[in-house]
């Protein structure tokens, strides 16, 4: 090889590869998914959202051919986990599992959040919905919402209702009921489960999510007088909905999966299709019903509409009641 050709070859080898060449770009890109996926659960281990997150993670891993790891990031009403995903890389390897309140209530409830729920997150798939039962202590002589309202009016200042904390679904639903019925009740927020005090009669009533209310109702520890969902619960068809007595008073919390805003639509579509397939599978559908919930498969667009509709309801209520969290 002459010196001229040898020098040209050495120069060519010394030059950096151009990132813009199509063949190099194709080599650099790997098909998705090519590594494990993190499903951030914004609620504690052992909680109902955690139970469902693990059901879906296990089945998604089988469908996608890569591990799907549940990473619990609880705290601040779901804000910690939500922030984690909102600030994650939009590469299709981090997703959020949480309940709707984190996206529909918290942006109004909290004075300041470290993320913008609308701009930083993208809906992927709704999963299930769950209403709550208004349950009363067996010591309280009422068997219906009408009797409860009559009792409250005849005994002003005597009724107290428990909740799991300010701004949670049980708190906000009872506030909707108070507006509809024009009765006043004292709110007693708890840091841990308040059901024991309702059973003992120390607090007269509460709205309890269906999954945890059902065992208490079945064993007669409390009495159910209304259900918050849009239709009667399949396990207790004799318990009327709130809307049957007070039209428009409907509410339920729902679970879903979100992604960082920049995740490609193709990846979102693939996850949505797999999640809907899992939701509609007989074994998962049965588990959802057994846990007192209702499957709600749907598109990302339908999920975005659910967020918008719920946000308006809760925003109006929170502002009217001046309910805030730091």
Q: Tell me the CATH number at 218.
A: 3.40.190.10
Structural domain includes residue 175: yes
Structure tokens at 226: 């209304």
Structural domain includes residue 18: no
3-state secondary structure of 126: strand
47 confidence band (pLDDT: 50, 70, 90): confident
Least confident range from 14-18, 127-131, 213-217, 297-301: namely 14-18
pLDDT digits (tens, 9 = 90+) for 134-191: 999 999 999 999 999 999 999 988 899 999 889 989 999 999 999 999 999 999 999 8
Nearest to 103 by CA among 114, 112, 84, 116: 116
Whether residues 148 and 125 share a domain: the answer is no
Cα end-to-end distance, the chain, whole Å: 76
State the virtual CA torsion across 31, 34, 36, 40 in degrees, nearest 10: -20
Work out how many domains the chain is built from and give that number.
2
Domain interval for residue 52: 37-130+253-321
Using CA atoms, how far apart are residues 304 and 73, in angstroms rounded to an integer? 23
Q: 33: cis peptide before it, omega within 30°? A: yes
Nearest to 293 by CA among 56, 127, 102, 123: 127
Q: What is the pLDDT of residue 145?
A: 96
Whether residues 165 and 111 share a domain: the answer is no
Q: What is the pLDDT of residue 157?
A: 84
Helices (H) and strands (E) in the chain, counts: 15, 11
Q: What is the pLDDT of residue 29?
A: 64
């Amino acid at each position: 090889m002459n010196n001229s050709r040898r020098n040209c070859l050495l120069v060519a080898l010394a030059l950096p590869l151009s990132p813009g060449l199509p063949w190099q770009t194709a080599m650099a890109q790997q098909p998705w998914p090519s590594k494990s996926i993190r499903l951030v659960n914004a609620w504690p281990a052992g909680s109902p959202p955690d139970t469902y997150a693990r059901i879906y993670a296990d089945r998604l891993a089988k469908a996608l051919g890569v591990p799907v790891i549940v990473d619990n990031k609880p705290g601040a009403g779901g804000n910690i986990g939500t922030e984690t995903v909102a600030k994650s890389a939009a590469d299709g390897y981090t997703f959020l599992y949480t309940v709707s309140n984190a996206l529909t209530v918290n942006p109004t409830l909290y004075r300041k959040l470290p993320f913008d729920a609308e701009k930083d997150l993208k809906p992927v798939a709704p999963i299930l919905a769950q209403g709550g039962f208004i349950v009363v202590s067996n010591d309280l002589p009422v068997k219906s919402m009408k009797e409860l309202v009559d009792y409250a009016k005849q005994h002003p200042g005597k009724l107290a209702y428990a909740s799991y904390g300010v701004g949670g679904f049980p708190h906000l639903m009872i506030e909707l009921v108070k507006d509809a019925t024009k009765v006043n009740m004292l709110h007693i927020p708890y840091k841990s489960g308040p059901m024991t005090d309702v059973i003992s009669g120390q607090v007269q009533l509460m709205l309890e999510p269906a999954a945890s209310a059902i065992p208490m109702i079945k064993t007669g520890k409390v009495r159910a007088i209304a259900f918050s969902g849009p239709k009667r619960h399949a396990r207790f068809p004799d318990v009327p909905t709130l809307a049957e007595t007070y039209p428009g008073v409907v509410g339920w919390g729902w679970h879903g999966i979100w992604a960082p805003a920049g995740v490609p639509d193709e990846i979102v579509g693939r996850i949505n299709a797999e999640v809907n397939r899992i939701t509609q599978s007989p074994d998962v559908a049965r588990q959802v019903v057994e846990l007192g919930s209702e499957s709600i498969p749907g598109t990302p667009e339908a999920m975005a509409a659910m967020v918008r509709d719920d946000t308006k309801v809760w925003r109006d209520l929170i502002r009217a009641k001046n309910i805030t969290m730091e």
